[in-house]
């Protein structure tokens, strides 16, 4: 192949790749415009970020709530946002265009970013984040565990006391069924619509809401275990 033909082939190859990248970047940009919650993984510190489509010399405009600098000090360096990588990285950046934190999507509408020596931060659609917070608030309080026949066999309290890694403390009440006392959950969290109870040994029990507003342990068994919110 001659040099000129080679150059044409390379040009066509690059030209064929670029529209795909542009389309992906364009779609992600469109999806990102709006209000987002920037938070620590356990949501103990939060900040509302409004991403805009207006351009700046280095990227796109954004607005941070005034309380952001106090809650998350590194946000003081954020002046704009942009799409990087192969159109799959959301970058919150300084006025000079340098990355303050890069996010990649880990679930639909949920992005995860890492700051060295600080830890992981979550960027989530604000409405979804507040809905999750409301759901969490509704979970906090006293519960009973009952068998399928309605017999109460244990009481427990779900708290909002942070235990790290999106978990919160849970406490069993006295006189629990031996099987539940042996499991002895110490942590709980909401994940993908399930209540997860985790023991100190790392064993996890999963509960899903059923049609009767009860939380039933899954997978189901011949002797169902149900969590009911105390009235």
Write the CATH number for 121. Answer: 2.40.128.10
* DSSP-derived secondary structure letter, 173: P
- Phi, psi values for residue 181, rounded to 5°: -60, -40
53 and 10 share a domain? yes
- The structure tokens listed for 168 are 């919160």
Tell me which of 91, 108, 131 is where a domain ends. Answer: 131
21 and 118 share a domain? yes
Q: What is the pLDDT of residue 135?
A: 72
Tell me which of 74, 97, 131 is where a domain ends. Answer: 131
The whole domain housing 178 covers: 140-229
Residue 96: pLDDT above 80? yes
In 41-164, the DSSP E strands lie at 46-55, 60-64, 80-84, 89-93, 99-107, 110-115, 119-125, 141-147, 152-164
d(C-alpha 219, C-alpha 139), whole Å: 21
Collect all residues with Cβ–Cβ distance below 8 Å to 29 and sequence separation of at least 6. Answer: 53, 60, 83
8 and 107 share a domain? yes
How would you classify residue 22: left for phi > 0, otherwise alpha for psi between -120 and 50, otherwise beta? alpha
36 and 109 share a domain? yes
177 and 197 share a domain? yes
The alpha carbon of residue 158 and the mean position of all alpha carbons in its chain are separated, in whole angstroms, by 20
111-150 pLDDT per residue, tens:
999 999 999 999 998 888 877 776 777 889 999 999 988 8
Contact 145, 226 (CB under 8 A): yes
Tell me which of 102, 131, 160 is where a domain ends. Answer: 131
165 and 89 share a domain? no
121 and 212 share a domain? no
Residue 11: pLDDT above 50? no
106 and 162 share a domain? no
Q: What is the pLDDT of residue 211?
A: 59
- In the chain the first and final C-alpha atoms are separated, in Å, by 80
d(C-alpha 57, C-alpha 229), whole Å: 54
Q: Return the closest-CA partner of residue 193 out of 177, 209, 181.
A: 209
User: If you average pLDDT over residues 74-86, what whole number do you get?
Assistant: 93
153 and 209 share a domain? yes
d(C-alpha 110, C-alpha 41), whole Å: 11
| Domains held by the chain: number | 2
111 and 162 share a domain? no
Q: What is the pLDDT of residue 221?
A: 81
User: If you average pLDDT over residues 198-211, what whole number do you get?
Assistant: 89
Q: What is the mean pLDDT of the chain?
A: 84
Residue 30: pLDDT above 60? yes
108 and 204 share a domain? no
Residue 83: pLDDT above 50? yes
74 and 161 share a domain? no
Q: What is the pLDDT of residue 126?
A: 87
């Amino acid at each position: 192949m001659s040099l000129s033909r080679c150059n044409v082939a390379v040009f066509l190859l690059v030209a064929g790749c670029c529209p795909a990248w542009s389309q992906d970047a364009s779609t992600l940009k469109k999806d990102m415009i709006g209000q987002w919650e920037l938070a620590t993984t356990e949501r103990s510190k939060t900040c509302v970020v409004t991403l805009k489509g207006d351009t700046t010399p280095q990227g796109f405009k954004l607005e941070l709530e005034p309380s952001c600098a106090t809650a998350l000090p590194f946000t003081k360096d954020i002046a704009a946002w942009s799409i990087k990588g192969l159109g799959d990285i959301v970058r919150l950046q300084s006025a000079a265009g340098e990355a303050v934190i890069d996010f990649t999507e880990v679930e639909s509408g949920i992005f995860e970013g890492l700051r060295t020596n600080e830890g992981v931060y979550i960027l989530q659609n604000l409405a979804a984040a507040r809905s999750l917070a409301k759901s969490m608030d509704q979970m906090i309080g006293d519960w009973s565990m009952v068998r399928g026949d309605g017999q109460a066999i244990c009481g427990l309290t779900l708290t909002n006391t942070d235990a790290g890694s999106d978990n919160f403390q849970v406490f069993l009440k006295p006189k629990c069924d031996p099987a539940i006392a042996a499991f002895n959950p110490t942590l709980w969290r909401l994940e993908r619509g399930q209540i997860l109870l985790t023991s100190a040994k790392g064993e996890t029990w999963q509960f899903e809401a059923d049609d009767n507003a009860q939380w039933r342990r899954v997978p189901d068994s011949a002797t169902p275990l149900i969590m009911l919110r105390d009235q």
